Each structure stands twice: as structure tokens, then as C-alpha cells.
Amino acid sequence: MSAPNSSYDPVEVTPLHPDEVARMRDEALSAIEAAGDLDELKEVRLAHASDRSPLALANREIGALPPAAKADAGKRVGGARRDVGQALKARQAVLENERDERVLVEERVDVTLPWDRTPRGARHPLTTVAERMTDVFVGMGFEVAEGPEVEAEWFNFDALNFEPDHPARTMQDTFFVESGEGGDSGMVMRTHTSPVQVRALLERELPVYVVAPGKTFRTDELDATHTPVFHQLEGLVVDRGITLAHLRGAIDAFVGAVFGEGLRTRFRASYFPFTEPSAEVDMECFVCRGASVGDPDAPCRTCSSEGWIEIGGCGVVNPRVLRAAGVDPEQYSGWAFGLGIERTLMFAHGVRDMRDMVEGDIRFSSAFGSEI
Amino acid sequence: MRVPMTWLREYVDLPADVTARDLASRLTLAGLEVETVDALGADLQGPLVLGRVLEIEELTEFKKPIRFCRVDVGAANGTGEPQEIVCGARNFSEGDLIVAVLPGAELPGGFKIGARKTYGRMSAGMICSATELGLWEDHTGIVVLPEGFGEPGQDAIGLLGLREDVLDIAVTPDRGYALSMRGVARDAATLYGVDLHDPAGIAVAEPTGEGHPARIEDPALADRLVLRGATGFDPEAPTPLWMKRRLHQSGVRPVSLAVDVTNYVMLELGQPLHAWDRDRLQGTVTVRAAEAGEKLETLDHVQRSLDTDDIVIADDAGAQAVAGVMGGLDTEIGLSSTAVLVEAAHFDQMHIARASRRHQLSSEASRRFERGVDSAVQAAAATRAVELLAELGGASVESAWTHVTHPAADRTITMRASHPGSVAGVEYPEGTAEKHLRAIGCTVERDGEVLTVTPPTWRPDLTDPNDLAEEVIRFEGYENIPAVRLSGPGRGLTDSQRLRRVFGRMLADTGHTEVLSYPFVGERDLEGLQLGADDPRRDSVRLANPLNDEEPLLRTTLLPGLFKTLARNVSRGLNDVALFETGLVYLPSHNGNAPILTVDRGPTAEEIERVDAALPHQPRRVGVVLAGRAERDGWWGQGREATWADAIQAARDVARVAGVGLEVEAAEHTPWHPGRCAALYVRVGGERVLAGHAGELHPRAIQAFGLPARTAAAEVDLDVVESARAEVRAPEISTYPVATQDVALVVDAGVPVGALSDALAEGAGDLLESVRLFDVYTGEQVGEGRKSVAFALRFRAPDRTLTAEEAGAARDAAVAVAAERTGASLRG
């Protein structure tokens, strides 16, 4: 760069002459205009807007001018460079648009082509329905309790007030475990999830609010409506001042969450050794809502035109059960329920044959995906 | 319990407009679940009338004898002329009163009647049998009605009671009283608030002297025995139509008058009765325990070996009946018995329940005794029976009779009057509890807030305040219990519960479909797995009563169930199958039998420990099995088969979602291919713990289970994986640039890549961010028995940009350790 020279005549510096600046600018502008594609424009940018372009070189000369002349020359050259820059940017935008319209159209693909290279899997709908049922109660402040599937008879029967020879005990169609050393093993495959009630009461601090989803076993042959291995969701609340009205509230919340709001429920007096009083729980048929009752022209397959669907059993925890679990029945009361998970799936999703849930045909589970 | 409505109405003043369906729904809500209401004869359509046989012409030209009858049907046929009917039955004579169905009628089962030509004659209708009318099963001929039953032309539907609504009630085990008309009537009367006429309320005159000698050896077996005699009984006297019809409608087969009467009274009062042929009984009737080795042939012609826990009714010759279960053949009332001894006893519930189970004999009697029979109804029941024998069979009732009793003390229950309300969560009006408890037969005394309740003799199920609360609540209506929301103090799912959900989601998202197979396996499955003779997986829990004798064991591995499910899918044309199952396996603990603890108090920690120690160890596993394509062919190109590597990767993914590293090592473990099996380890507190195996299956296992060639599988213990979890600390993220270095190492072909990768990682030091294998090459360039393995190493420092020298030095250090451990050399 030249040093400032006060006697230097700016007019004598050819590159900074107004005509010369205008010529360089016009030359650049017409080159920009002539650029036919982005590659050509790139070359034009190198020739007319880079550090080595005529205008850039002229700009360098400004430093050598006397102070009085600098401003004028700077304005002139700067204006020309700005014009060139703007023209470049404008031309760039035009050319990019042209390219996009042409190239991106050429790159069009068929987006409807499948990309199912890896097959999809699925969880079993009984698993997801059980989780969904569980979560309704978790949302109400219940925790999830667990117990073994091969269970001690004491937990499965005795502690639940099934007396040794009472018909209720034989009605359960129990799988008994053979003893390895003679006599009765004292073990069974649990016939219901209710032994978890006793375990929960023994393991946890009061009050207890738990649900226990799990496998249960009875000696029924597999057919359209029976399976020797099935699933239940047990519920148990033991606290002070607990009543059947709270039980009804919890059941209603469950039915509302899983089958739809506004469905009526009803309790029917029944019998279970571990609850007293006991009740069966029916919910209004969510398909016909009772309209099929007594109307032979519009039978309902879901409820067999009964208007009600049985979804489980429940009742007030028998004080004998509390006592066997070390809870003082004078201080605490509670209730328990057992809901069928297969039944819930069958009703909620129209499964017609129990065998579909058992056989493991991938087409069955795939229809449900990973979440219900 | 089947309950004909007209019979029930004899005991309850139900309003006339109450239909069977109305009553059924009320009873159901109150705990007597009416499963069906059978409208018998609902599809029956007349004209169905009484007729008198005027003339019988025998037609002999056919293969079987046929009768052409002229029958007086009064004006029922519109002409008053005799009706001409062809009939194949022969059990009637001219002058008999019969039931004729005329053209235009319809019999049960949609059987339409018309005039038609048959056996060469026009037959205008049919003479009916009991079966055709739906009265009872009888294939011996037509119904001949007793003289005086009615007049020809009268409508038979009403006279014979052919239309009847019958409630079929599924009685729960606690409500033994409802196995009688009397018990159902009482609940119905209470529900509708109407009067009950108790059929047990008949007058029973005191005995005028000792009846047949009898004794109860042990009051623990029975606390009441009544014997009433009737002599001069006509064993050929027919059972009246009304009784046979009611028995049939109640599901009991009519047999003979003496037997029918005992069954009828049992249905009426709930008390099982036994009618003895008195002439065949020898000496004293004794209720006692069976003697060791004692035998008895019961009515069903089965020779039974008695157990010393069985109660028997014996005479001097030995046991004659299994008490409360079934009578013996020798003393059965027969077609020539004229002296009848009716026995009504109250046996111990539990003894009968055990005997019924032991002999696998569930009879109408045992069902009632094991659920509880009224302990005071025996005299009325026996009296009712002998009176019916007198009325219908011409017998004389003996006024001297036997009554042995060891009455138990009354049971009383005390309860706060407000207790039912506080169980229900409803404030019942003052006096509600007393009202309902009295209606079901309790005696109630009130002292302030406290009720002292004596349940009636027919309600042995009422023992606790909550039993009484149930009675009050069911008559107040379960349907009237309000719904009140409550919420608990729960803190959501545990870490373990959340993790288990994630395992399943991950496997589903990576292409596996969940199955839930049965846990039952057999010897054949264990053989199929190629397990050695002393393989620990042969040590299984055995069921005493398996559904299938071929599968008496519980699984010790998830694999057999998965294999069978895979084979089932393949057999259905689904060739690309990846399955998974999570579930328990059952590993015997060999700690003896589980004790049965007391229920009077909570168990001690030591007691629970003893129970739990006996239970099998039940770890949770996940199993995976894959066959067919893991990636499909398509427009993108070729797919690929699932291999051993997919199985191992599934196991790695299971550990990964738990945040646990899996150490993979070659292993030989059936049922896997010995050269393509990995043992999988996790670190639990520095200790290496086996978590499972994965790889390709052994060809013999594949053959045994009928699986596609090269099927791969994995099984991982989720409890072990979970135990290896550690708390995650947030990493420090360096924003300095990465320095990448690739190395290709040549090693012996037998060196596991895993070992090489571990050595590089260890040698590279703290600057190493990741090491990833990107190529394995074998071929001429590296020489026979050698392979070249290429890794990409990424280095980064937390505090500066690494220089090329630093990255190079770290790489060299990595290679040095690999060289030292595995003999690796840098390639070319």
C-alpha cells in the first residue's frame, strides 16, 4: 500500500477516475447479467468481486490519496462495489430459483414406495391392556404389587379364608404341585391374583393401595371361552373408614377410562371366601347400552342381549383375611376386586376366540402394535 | 337349583303381575344368580285336549302293530264327531283318558301337527307321550291319565301345566338354604315384602313311642337323626302327574313313588332324605365313621372302599350308605317294598364335603350337605315324606318314631346396628338392620347401639358381623350403593416395573412380536433341547394334576414355548418370524413342602421365610427366537436372513435399554450350535454374572422342534440384567474437535473381535471417545489363518483441541495393548 502523498493528484490515478470506476462497474454488471448458471456466476464473482477484482484493486489505491480526496474516491468505489454486490446477490437468487425449478423437479421420487425392509414387531395386546388397566389405578394413587406364580397354598387359600374342605376351594380347579419328598407340597399354581393381597399387607406399611396384574392358572382345557392360563388384575385398598361406596367409585373410574365415560355399573351380591360382603361387577353393555334387552329383532352379540357384561368380582376384605395378614380388623377395613384381563381385551377390542390370545399367531398381535 | 314359578308361588304371595323375569332380576341382584329363565311350553300351541279312546282297530299288515283309534275329543274338533288318529303305542285300552293333539297345533320343538295319511289311513292328529308334551322323559308309550282327571275336549295345556317358567339359579357355596324352594321363597318374600308360607311349618306330632332303634356314635359326625316309618305302602302306586312334572321341571328324573317323594321333599325343604326298605335293614341304625377296610356297593353299582373319615349309616350287617352322599344297593327301596323307613339326618358339612371329593361323587344330597342344611328341619321333612307316602301310596304312618339329637348351642353374633351402613358407605335409616335380619329368620335383640343376633338354623353361613351386613345391604340393594372417588398415596411404578415395560417396547420396536405361551412342558421338550442327563434345566417343578399327562412339568427355560409358537406360525405360512416372550421360569428350591400356617394371627417373619423358602425360585426371563428374513427383499435390493448375530444383538439391546453393558463370549451350551453360541455376562458390583445365552440353534434342536434351518434364539435373565444397573451420571460434553484414527490389525483368525476391541479401548486411555469395528477381512492379502480387523477410533479431549501427535500417540498405545494381548500387528 502506498503512503499518503499530499501533492498527489487524484485525477492522475487512473483506476480511481470516475469514468474508469463506472466502466469497471458496468463491465461487472453486464458480466453478472450474462452469467447463465451458478457456475458461470461463480466465475464472474471471482473476476469482479473477489480481492483480485479491478474494483478491489482500485479500492486499495484510495489509501494513497490525500485526505481531501479520500472521501470522494471512497464513496465512488464503494458505491460501485455495492452495486456489483447487489447485482451478484440478485443474480444468485434468480439462478438458484432456476436451478431449483429444474434440478429438484428432476430429483422427484415416488414417495409412496414402501420402505418396510425390517418387519415391525408388536407387544401382546394382553400385556398392553394390562398396563392400561394398571395405569388407571396408578393414576388414582395405587402402587403395583407382585407375587410368585407358583404360590404356597397358605397364601392362595388358607389366608384368604378358604377353609380346607369348603366347596369354594374345590371349585377353583387348582393345579397342585407335586411334592418332592412325599405328602402335600403345600404349593399350587396360583388360581387367582388374590394371594398378592396377603403379600401386600404383610410387606407394606398401612394404608395399602395396590393393584396386582398377573398370570393365573386353572385346570380348564383351552377352548373358545376358556384357557388354563389367564390374567387378572387384583385391586386392594386397606385403610381406615373404607366402604363399598369407595369401591364403586374406583370401579366406575376404571370402566370410564377403559370402556368409555357414562357407562353404568352395578353390583350383584355374590360370594367369595376372602370378601364379605361380596359382589359381582357388571357394566352396562357398551355396544347396545341395554337397547337389545327384550328386542329379538336387534340382538347384541357382545352382551347376549343381557344389557350387562360381567367384568369381575369384588367385596369388602373379610376381616378374617385381615387377621391372617396381621392387620387389626377393628382399626382397618378395606376392599378388593379382581378384574379379568382377557375379558377386558375381548370386550374392548372384539376378540371372539380365547385361542387367538393364546396361540401366538403374529398376525393377531401385529394388529394391535406396541400400545393400545 | 331349578325353581318352577307356580310351585314357588305356593309359598310366597308374590303380586300377580310379577313375571319370572322380574323376579329373576331381583333375585340376581340380591345374590341368587338366575342364569336362565326357561319358558317351558312357550312354543306350544293348541288345540291340545283331553280325549277318551272310544274304539281301537288293530292294523296288523305292517312291520309293527299299529292302532287306528277313534277318540272322543268333545267339541274340540269343531264337529263333535270322534277324531280318527293312528297311533303306534300300545299301552292303552278303549275307555282310557289320553291327551290328543289336533291338526293346526304345534308341539315343543316346532313340531307342527296336521291331518295326514299314514299306514293307509287318514290320521287327524296324534295321541301324545310325556316326552312329546315336554312333561318328562318316557319312551314306553303315551300318557294315560287317571280317571277323573278331566273331560274329553278340555284344554290339556292348562290342566297338565305344560306352560311353566322355571328359574335356573346358580347357588353360591355359602347359600345352601337356596337349594330349596323354601329358601328361595324366603328371599323372594323378603325382596317383595310379602308373606311367606313356610312349607316346613307343618304340624309334627310328638312321637308316641320309640321308633326304629337308632344311635349316633359321635356327635361330631351328625347332630340329629330322625327315622319315620310307613307300613302298608303300595310299591306299585304311581307318582301323580303333578309331582312327576315338578320333579322333571326341577331337573330330577322321576323313578318310583317312594324315591320321588323323598326327592320332592328335598327340593321343597332342602333336606336330603333316604328311604330304606325296612325289611332289609337288620337291627339298629347307627351313624358312625366307616371302619378301616370297610366296603360298600352304592346305588350306582360301584363297589367303594370306605375311608375312616367317611360317615356311614350302618345296620347290624355293616355299612348301608355313605351318609349324605349315596345310599347302598342292598337296602335300596325296591318294587316290592311295603315297609318304608324315611331317614332325615343332619351330618357334619366338612365330612360330607371330603367324602364327596374322595369318592368323586357329587349328588343332590352331598351338594346340599356340604353347603349347609337346616339343622332343625329333619322332623318336619321326614313327617312330610311319610305323609305323602300315606296320601299317594296308601301307607299308614307310624306314630312312634325315632329322634336322636345332640343339639349344638345357638350361635349369637353381636354387631353395631350401624355396621351395615358403615360397610356400604350408606346411612341406612334407624331399624333397617333389624328389619332385614328378622325377615331372613334371625332373632335380634337390641341393647343401645349393639344388636345381638341369633341366626336361624338354616343359615349356618352367618357367623360374622360382615355376613349380617351383607344380608342387610343386599336387601337394601347393592345397586343403591353410591360411587365415591378415593385416591391413594402411591408413588407410581417402581424402577423395575418401568424397566420391564421398556424391554417389551424395545423388542417390539426392533421387529419382535410378543407371545404368551403356556408354562407346561414335558420330557420330550427337554429331550428336544438336547439337554444332558444332569443338565440343571431338567430339574423341574412337577404338577400333581397336569392337564396333559405328556406335559407335567413347569418350564425352566422359555425356549420350548417359543419354539412351538414359532413352528405354529411357520405352519401357517408366516415364514419371517421374530418372537419374544417375557415370563417366569420355575426352578425347584428343594426346601421341602410349604407349611400351612395358622390364620388366627399374622405370620411371623420366620414363618413367611419358611413358606417362601419352599417355593421354587421364579426369575423373570426374556426369550427371543428368530427365523426367516430379518430384512426383506424389495425394490431397494436384497434382504437378509436372520442369523445368530440378530439373536445376540437382541440380547445386547435388552441390556442396553437397562443401561447395562453385556460381555459376550463364545460358549457351548445346548440347545445352541456349539460354534455359534454366546454366553452373556453382566457386571454386578465388579463380579461377572452369567445373564444368558444367544446364538444359532443346534441342528438337532431345530429338527426336534420342527424349526426352519438356522433358527436363532436368545434367553436372558432380566432379574440379573436389572441387578447390574447403576445410577447414570451425566457425561461432560466436550465441544472441542474430534480426532479420528483408523487402524487395521492383523490377528489369528481365532482371536475374538470383542477381545481386540476391549484391548484397544483399554490401551487408548482417557482420550478415547469411541471405538467401532468397521471391517473384517480374510483372504490372500493377510495370509492363511489370519484376518484383518479395522477399527475407527475417535479421540477427544475435554479441554483442548488434540494435536495430530497426541491422537497418534493414543492410537499407538491402543495398538500396543492389542498387540500384547492378542498378537495383533498393524496391517501393511
Mutate to test the interface with B, among A160, A165, A201, A230 (most CBs of B within 10 A): A165
Flag whether residue B44 sits within 8 Å of chain A, measured between CB atoms. no
Instruction: Measure A356 CA to nearest chain B CA, in Å.
Output: 11
Chain A environment of B559 (Cβ under 8 Å): none
Which helix H or strand E contains B795, and what residues bound it?
Answer: strand B786-795
| Residues placed in the known binding site of B | 461, 467, 470-471
Lowest-pLDDT range of A43-57, B458-472, B590-604: A43-57
Nearest-angstrom CA–CA distance, B245 and A321: 46
Taking a C-beta distance cutoff of 8 angstroms, is the pair B654, B725 a contact? no
Nearest-angstrom CA–CA distance, B635 and B573: 23
CA dihedral of B64, B68, B72, B77, whole degrees rounded to 10: 100
The answer for A269, left when phi > 0, alpha when psi is -120 to 50, beta otherwise, is beta
Residue B182 pLDDT > 50: yes
Mutate to test the interface with B, among A276, A316, A356, A365 (most CBs of B within 10 A): A276
Chain A environment of B719 (Cβ under 8 Å): none
CA triple A146-A149-A150, angle to 5 deg: 135
**Residues 350-409 (B) with a CB less than 8 A from some CB of A:** 350, 353-354, 357, 370-371
Q: Note whether A244 contacts B611, CB cutoff 8 Å.
A: no
pLDDT tens for each residue of A321-334? 999 999 999 999 99
pLDDT for the residue numbered A104: 85
Instruction: Measure B452 CA to nearest chain A CA, in Å.
Output: 18
pLDDT for the residue numbered A142: 97
All three cell numbers of B572: 401357517
Percent of chain B with pLDDT over 90: 84
pLDDT for the residue numbered B714: 98
Nearest-angstrom CA–CA distance, A49 and B137: 114
Nearest-angstrom CA–CA distance, B330 and B282: 11
Compute and round to an integer the Cα radius of gyration of chain B. Answer: 41
Can you tell me the mean pLDDT for B503-511?
A: 95
Q: Note whether B486 contacts A237, CB cutoff 8 Å.
A: yes
Residue B689 pLDDT > 70: yes
Out of A121, A250, A253, name the one closest to residue B578 (CB).
A121
pLDDT for the residue numbered B76: 85
**Residues 543-562 (B) with a CB less than 8 A from some CB of A:** 543-547, 554
Flag whether residue B573 sits within 8 Å of chain A, measured between CB atoms. no
CA dihedral of A350, A196, A330, B467, whole degrees rounded to 10: 50
Flag whether residue B589 sits within 8 Å of chain A, measured between CB atoms. no
- Which one, of A3, A2, A53, A1, lies nearest residue A25 by Cα? A53
Amino acid code (one letter) for A189: M
Instruction: Measure A21 CA to nearest chain B CA, in Å.
Output: 45
Residue A11 pLDDT > 60: no
How far CA A111 is from CA of A118, A337, B525, B636, B671, in Å, comes to: 18, 51, 48, 13, 45
3-state SS track over B616-636: CECCEEEEEEEECEEECCECC
Residue B438 pLDDT > 50: yes
Residues 6 or more apart whose CB falls under 8 angstroms from that of A345 comprise A125, A126, A129, A351, A357
- Which one, of B571, B449, B599, lies nearest residue A361 by Cα? B571
Q: Note whether B543 contacts A167, CB cutoff 8 Å.
A: no
- Which one, of B85, B81, B80, lies nearest residue B105 by Cα? B85
DSSP B780: T
Q: Note whether B546 contacts A121, CB cutoff 8 Å.
A: no
Instruction: Measure A103 CA to nearest chain B CA, in Å.
Output: 23
Chain A environment of B486 (Cβ under 8 Å): 140, 237, 242, 246, 249-250
pLDDT tens for each residue of B639-677? 999 999 999 999 999 999 999 999 999 999 999 999 999
Residues 6 or more apart whose CB falls under 8 angstroms from that of B642 comprise B576, B578, B626, B627, B628, B629, B630, B710, B712
pLDDT tens for each residue of A172-213? 689 999 998 888 999 999 999 999 999 999 999 999 999 999
Instruction: Measure B821 CA to nearest chain A CA, in Å.
Output: 38
Residue A332: φ, ψ to 5°: -120, 150
User: If DSSP codes are grouped into helix, strand and coil, which group holds residue A150?
Assistant: strand
Q: Note whether A143 contacts B504, CB cutoff 8 Å.
A: no
Q: Cα B244 to chain center, whole Å? A: 33
Nearest-angstrom CA–CA distance, A235 and A214: 12
Lowest-pLDDT range of A33-37, A66-70, B604-608: A66-70
Nearest-angstrom CA–CA distance, A188 and A162: 14
Chain A environment of B173 (Cβ under 8 Å): 166-168, 171, 271
Task: Return the exposure string of B397-429: e unless at least 16 CB atoms fall within 10 Å of the residue's CB, then b.
Answer: bbeebbbbbeeeeeeebebebebbbbbbbbebe
Nearest-angstrom CA–CA distance, A174 and A152: 12
pLDDT for the residue numbered B331: 79
Flag whether residue B184 sits within 8 Å of chain A, measured between CB atoms. no
Chain A environment of B515 (Cβ under 8 Å): 124, 360, 365
Q: Note whether B583 contacts A215, CB cutoff 8 Å.
A: yes
Nearest chain B alpha carbon to A214? B583
All three cell numbers of A63: 489509501
Out of A186, A229, A267, name the one closest to residue B518 (CB).
A229
Nearest-angstrom CA–CA distance, A249 and B528: 52
Q: Note whether A276 contacts B467, CB cutoff 8 Å.
A: yes
Residue A9 pLDDT > 70: no
pLDDT for the residue numbered A17: 81
Chain A environment of B630 (Cβ under 8 Å): 118-119
Percent of chain B with pLDDT over 70: 100
- Which one, of B562, B785, B747, B523, lies nearest residue A362 by Cα? B562
Flag whether residue B517 sits within 8 Å of chain A, measured between CB atoms. yes
Q: Note whether A140 contacts B487, CB cutoff 8 Å.
A: yes
Q: Note whether B497 contacts A333, CB cutoff 8 Å.
A: no
pLDDT for the residue numbered B368: 96
Q: Note whether A269 contacts B578, CB cutoff 8 Å.
A: no
Flag whether residue B422 sits within 8 Å of chain A, measured between CB atoms. yes
Residue B724 pLDDT > 80: yes
Residue B344 pLDDT > 90: yes
All three cell numbers of B529: 433341547
- Which one, of B474, B436, B454, lies nearest residue B376 by Cα? B454
Taking a C-beta distance cutoff of 8 angstroms, is the pair B107, B47 a contact? no
Q: Note whether B547 contacts A221, CB cutoff 8 Å.
A: yes
Residues 6 or more apart whose CB falls under 8 angstroms from that of B413 comprise B452, B453, B454, B455, B462, B463, B464, B465, B467, B468
Taking a C-beta distance cutoff of 8 angstroms, is the pair B567, A126 a contact? no
Nearest-angstrom CA–CA distance, B10 and B501: 61
Q: Report how many Cβ contacts below 8 Å link chain A to chain B.
A: 316
Q: Note whether A229 contacts B516, CB cutoff 8 Å.
A: yes
Out of A120, A141, A163, name the one closest to residue B490 (CB).
A141
Q: Note whether A165 contacts B357, CB cutoff 8 Å.
A: yes
How far CA A179 is from CA of B150, B184, B299, B773, in Å, comes to: 68, 44, 36, 53
User: If DSSP codes are grouped into helix, strand and coil, which group holds residue A161?
Assistant: coil
Block residue for cell numbers 354387631: B415
pLDDT for the residue numbered B30: 93
Out of B424, B583, B595, name the one closest to residue A186 (CB).
B595
Can you tell me the mean pLDDT for A124-139?
A: 96
Can you tell me the mean pLDDT for B690-697?
A: 98
All three cell numbers of B240: 301323580
Nearest chain A alpha carbon to B26? A268
This model of the complex carries an ipTM of 0.88
Instruction: Measure A197 CA to nearest chain B CA, in Å.
Output: 13
Nearest-angstrom CA–CA distance, B161 and B164: 7
Q: Please confirm whether the linkage preceding B519 is cis (ω < 30° from 0).
A: no
Residue B793 pLDDT > 90: yes
Q: Note whether A184 contacts B593, CB cutoff 8 Å.
A: yes
- Which one, of B442, B218, B235, B458, lies nearest residue B333 by Cα? B235
Nearest-angstrom CA–CA distance, A106 and A264: 61
B2 pLDDT band (50/70/90 cuts)? very high
pLDDT for the residue numbered A140: 96
A168 pLDDT band (50/70/90 cuts)? low
Flag whether residue B469 sits within 8 Å of chain A, measured between CB atoms. yes
pLDDT tens for each residue of A324-371? 999 999 999 999 999 999 999 998 898 989 999 999 999 999 999 877
Q: Please confirm whether the linkage preceding A18 is cis (ω < 30° from 0).
A: no
| Sign of the CA dihedral with A75 first, then A78, A84, and A85 last | negative
The answer for B769, left when phi > 0, alpha when psi is -120 to 50, beta otherwise, is alpha
Taking a C-beta distance cutoff of 8 angstroms, is the pair B754, B688 a contact? no
Instruction: Measure B389 CA to nearest chain A CA, in Å.
Output: 34
DSSP one-letter string for B274-339: EEEEGGG--S-EEEEEPPTT-EEEBTTS-EEE--TTSEEEEETTEEEEETTTEEBSTTB--TT---
Instruction: Measure A153 CA to nearest chain B CA, in Å.
Output: 7
Chain B environment of A359 (Cβ under 8 Å): 565, 568
Residue A3 pLDDT > 60: no
CA triple A25-A26-A28, angle to 5 deg: 65
Instruction: Measure A352 CA to nearest chain B CA, in Å.
Output: 18
Instruction: Measure B310 CA to nearest chain A CA, in Å.
Output: 13
Q: Note whether A167 contacts B370, CB cutoff 8 Å.
A: yes
Can you tell me the mean pLDDT for B370-397?
A: 96
Compute and round to an integer the Cα radius of gyration of chain A. Answer: 42
Amino acid code (one letter) for B827: R
Q: Note whether B508 contacts A123, CB cutoff 8 Å.
A: yes
User: If DSSP codes are grouped into helix, strand and coil, which group holds residue B759?
Assistant: helix
Q: Please confirm whether the linkage preceding B708 is cis (ω < 30° from 0).
A: no
Which helix H or strand E contains B68, and what residues bound it?
Answer: strand B66-72
- Which one, of B210, B345, B229, B215, lies nearest residue B279 by Cα? B229
Taking a C-beta distance cutoff of 8 angstroms, is the pair B96, B144 a contact? yes
- Which one, of B52, B50, B75, B243, lies nearest residue B157 by Cα? B50
Mean of per-residue pLDDT scores for chain B: 94
Q: Note whether B489 contacts A270, CB cutoff 8 Å.
A: no
Block residue for cell numbers 389367564: A230
Amino acid code (one letter) for A106: E
DSSP one-letter string for B173-234: TT-GGGSSHHHHHHHHHHHHT--B--TT----PPPSS--S-EEES-TTTEEEEEEEEEES--
Alpha helices, DSSP H, located in chain A: 18-34, 38-49, 54-61, 67-99, 105-106, 125-138, 153-156, 167-170, 195-203, 244-259, 319-324, 341-349, 354-358, 362-366
Residue A1 pLDDT > 50: no
Can you tell me the mean pLDDT for B138-163?
A: 90
Can you tell me the mean pLDDT for A277-290?
A: 90
Nearest-angstrom CA–CA distance, B631 and B352: 65
